Amino acid sequence: MSKKFWVLCMSVLTMHVGVAMAQAAVSTPPAVDTPEGLVRQTLSRLVPKAKIEQIAPSPLPGFYQVIASGHLVYISGDGKYVLNGELIDAAEGRSLTESAWATYRKSELAKVPVSDRIVFGPSNPKYTVTVFTDVTCPYCRVLHEQIKALNKEGIAVQYLAWPRSGVTGEDGQPTSTYKEMVSIWCAADRNDAFTEAKRGREPKSADCKNPVKDQFDLGLRLGVTGTPSVYAEDGSLIGGYLSPQQMLQAVQEHAAKGG
C-alpha cells in the first residue's frame, strides 16, 4: 500500500467521520464472499468510518469503482488491490473517472428540489448550472456580481449552500457562516437576502426548517472541497469561478457533447 493512498485514507477518515457516523446503512450488505462484499470489506478495513455511497463495475476489467466519503477509487473484485487515480480511455483521450463522477453527481443533484435552491435565471434559460456557494467567499461574490451578465447569456444559476467553515465548529456550536446561510434560506425573499449578503451585508437573523445542512452534506458526498463549485447539467465539474464568457463556453461545450 503506497504512502499516498494511506494519506488519502487518513484524510477521508479525518474529514468525513462526522458524516459517516451520522448515516446508517439502509440496505443489507452483500455476502463477504461475493466481489462486492470483498470490495466493501477491503475499504472498510482501510477506512473504517468511510460512508460507501456506490459500488459498481468499472471499465477497468476486474475492478469496481467505489464512491465513498467524497472520493472515487478502484478496488479489485478479490479485494486485494486498490487504485487511487484518474482512469483514462487512451483511445478517446477522456477521463472515465470524471465520467463516473458526473453520472453520480447528476443523479444526486436531481434529488434536490428547485424549491430548496436559490435561483437566478432568465424566463426561458438555454442552460442551467448548479453552484455550491458560501456567502463569504471572495470569488463567490465576484461570480454573483456578474449574475445579470450570466442570465443575459441565457444561463440560469441555481445555488446550493456550502458554508466553508462547516455546519458546526470545534466547540460543537453552529458556525457563523452556517447561521448566516440559514437566515438567508429562511428569509421572506431569499434572492434579495442572498444578494445583500454577497455585498457584505449580514442578513436579518431567521430560523426555520431549511436544507442548508443537507446541502452541505451533499457537497461532501460529491467531492466539493471549496467554493464556488460549478456543475453543468450533466453533473460535470466545469470550474470554480468562471467569467460569463468562460461559463458560456463551458456550458455550450457540454451541451454539444449531449451533457
The pLDDT, as a whole number, for residue 255 is 84
What pLDDT is recorded for position 225?
A: 92
For 115-158, what is each residue's pLDDT tens digit?
999 999 999 999 999 999 999 999 999 999 999 999 999 999 99
Q: What is the DSSP string of 218-241?
A: HHHHTT--SS-EEE-TTS-EEESS
pLDDT at 91 over 60: yes
Cell of 93: 483521450
Mean pLDDT (the chain, rounded): 88
Q: What is d(CA 120, CA 57) in angstroms, rounded to the nearest whole number?
A: 38
Q: Is the pLDDT of residue 24 over 90?
A: no
For range 188-201, the mean pLDDT: 95
Q: Does the pLDDT of residue 60 top 70, yes or no?
A: yes
Whether this model's pTM surpasses 0.85: no
pLDDT in tens, 199-247: 999 999 999 999 999 999 999 999 999 999 999 999 999 999 999 999 9
Q: In a 10 Å sphere around its CB, with 0-12 CB exposed, 13-18 middle and 19+ buried, how is residue 32 labelled?
A: exposed
Decide if 233 contacts 259 (C-beta within 8 A): yes
Is the pLDDT assigned to residue 26 strictly greater than 90? no
Residue 31 binned pLDDT confidence (cut-offs 50, 70, 90): low
Check residue 29 and give its pLDDT.
55
Domains and CATH numbers, the chain: 3-103 (3.10.450.70), 114-256 (3.40.30.10)
The Cα 209–Cα 150 span in angstroms is 30
